[in-house]
């Protein structure tokens, strides 16, 4: 094939709404997103910890925050991100050890990670509320 034929076969523009990512790509992207969420969560959790350790009034104010829906939702989101990131990290470690490297097992492990993350998220929601 000549170089000119290859250029003609390439798309003029990419329509991102028509591109379907495989489960393995979605798992990898979500793993990165959950890591970023946890980075911001560390700041929130450290602020809460600092507030509880400064005084009894600070502890009482943080404790009253946990009665509200917004704080419960934030904590549930943090736990969900932590759970997914942990499951995705274990999946990546197993793949780095030389297992689940084939396409079919990689897709199956990605889907299993999704299912386990949903189960963990539901359990975390029950625990928080």
Q: Which domains does the chain have, with CATH numbers?
A: 22-128 (1.20.1300.10)
Report, as an integer, the average pLDDT of 92-119: 93
Q: Average pLDDT, whole number, for the chain? A: 91
Q: Residue 31 contacts by C-beta under 8 Å, 6 or more apart in sequence?
A: 84, 85, 88, 89, 92
Known binding site for heme: residues?
85
Query: Of all helices (H) and strands (E), which one includes residue 117?
Result: helix 103-128
- What is the Cα–Cα distance from 90 to 4, expressed in whole angstroms? 45
Q: What is the pTM of this model?
A: 0.81
- C-alpha 90: how far from chain center: 13
* Residue 15, pLDDT score: 75
- What is the Cα–Cα distance from 91 to 106, expressed in whole angstroms? 9
- What is the Cα–Cα distance from 123 to 129, expressed in whole angstroms? 10
CA triple 59-39-72, angle to 5 deg: 45
Known binding site: residues?
85
């Amino acid at each position: 094939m000549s170089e000119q034929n290859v250029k003609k076969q390439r798309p003029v523009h990419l329509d991102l709404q028509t591109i379907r990512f495989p489960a393995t790509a979605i798992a990898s992207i979500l793993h990165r997103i959950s890591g970023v969420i946890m980075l911001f969560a560390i700041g929130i959790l450290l602020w809460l910890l600092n507030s509880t350790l400064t005084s009894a009034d600070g502890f009482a104010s943080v404790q009253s925050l946990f009665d509200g829906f917004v704080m419960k939702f934030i904590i549930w989101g943090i736990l969900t991100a932590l759970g997914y990131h942990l499951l995705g990290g274990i999946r990546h470690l197993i793949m780095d050890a030389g297992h689940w490297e084939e396409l079919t097992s990689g897709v199956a492990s990605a889907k299993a990670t999704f299912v386990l993350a949903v189960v963990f998220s539901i359990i975390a929601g029950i625990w928080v509320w």
